[in-house]
Structure 1
Amino acid sequence: MSTFLLEIVTPERLVYSEQVDSITARGIEGELGILPGHIPMVTPLQIAPIYIKNGKENKRVAIGGGFIEVRKDKVVVLAESAEFPESIDVDRARAAKERAERRLGSQSNQDHFDHRRAEIALQKAVNRINVYGK
């Protein structure tokens, strides 16, 4: 079976760079399954896990939004944040989730921008907790 190079990059560093069999990511318009030879494309990513398949090994990464670029023999994920389960501080993620839920619950004096920031913070926290826990 053929493979392709997957690179996951955040503003801080190169998080992952390996040959893989396939990945599954969630784009703005839905789930994307990417195999070798996929048509080139660029699309925004939702705050959601990316699933990596490499032989019998399956990995997942909590992605905090960004873009995916599919090239002929390489896929680049430009992510705002990217964390493997072993690097997630689940207590910190749970605390962030609770803070975001409190902010959303007391929205009477919030403007639209603060509300949206709280929603995004909640999505990121839940994504991290889910990737950590599976």
Structure 2
Amino acid sequence: MGYLTCKFVRPDKQLFEGKCASMTLVTYSGELGVLPGHASEICALGDGVVRIKRLDEDGGDERDVVVSGGYAEICNDVVVIIADHARAADDIDAETVRRTHDKAQAKRDALPEGDHQRAYYENKMAWCDLLLEKAGAQTASE
């Protein structure tokens, strides 16, 4: 069996680059499993978790990345993921995320209703909620 080559980036840094056995992308229409030999495709990423299954010779473990928005391109066993927001699931500090959420909420609430800047803080709060949801699921499974 072959392998996939994956490059996973977000606006400020590269999260992962290497070979993997398979992956599961989170899209707006549901999860999309990707194995070597997958047809060429470009898909929009939704909010959730991208699961990357490493090759057996690399331990065969799974790397989970929480994402919100972006795109993935699959072509010739290469998957390029460009995420709007992404964080490795094992890199979520729930207390830091809660503080960030609370600061964003305070700044949003200080703005008058109808101010377009409120949308920025609401998006930030939604991202924090997604991270906290994943952190809670991870804590429950450990």
Question: With structure 2 as the length reference, what TM-score do the two structures score?
Answer: 0.75
Which residue of structure 2 aligns with residue 128 of structure 1?
131
Give how far 1:114 is off.
4.5
Partner Cα distance (1:101, 1:29) in 2: 29
Gaps of 5+ in 1: none
User: Which deviates further from its counterpart, 87-96 or 42-51?
Assistant: 87-96
**Contact 1:46/1:66 (CA < 8 Å) preserved in 2?**
yes
CA contact (8 A) 1:8 1:14 kept: yes
Q: How many residues align?
A: 133
What amino acid sits opposite 1:52 in the alignment? I
Quote the Cα distance in structure 1 between the aligned partners of 2:95 and 2:42: 34
Which aligned pairs between 1:1-134 and structure 2 lie closer than 5 A?
A: 1-54=1-54, 55=56, 56-99=60-103, 109-111=112-114, 113-114=116-117, 116-133=119-136, 134=138
What is the Cα deviation at residue 94 of structure 1? 1.6
CA distance in 1, matches of 2:133, 2:11: 23
SS of the aligned residue for 1:38 comes to coil
CA contact (8 A) 1:3 1:36 kept: yes
> Which of structures 1 and 2 has the bigger CA Rg?
2
Contiguous gaps of at least 5 residues in structure 2: none
Query: 1:28-79, CA deviations, whole angstroms, 9 ceiling, x for partnerless residues?
Result: 2222111111111112211321111123301101223211111111001101
Cα drift, residue 4 of structure 1: 0.4
Q: TM-score, normalised by structure 1?
A: 0.79
State the Cα distance separating 1:113 from its structure 2 match: 4.2
Distance apart, 1:2 and its partner CA:
2.1
Shift of 1:81: 2.8
Q: Partners in 2 of 1:102 and 1:47 — Cα distance?
A: 24
Provide closer, same or farther for how the CA distance between residues 100 and 32 of structure 1 changes in structure 2, counting only shifts above 3 A: farther
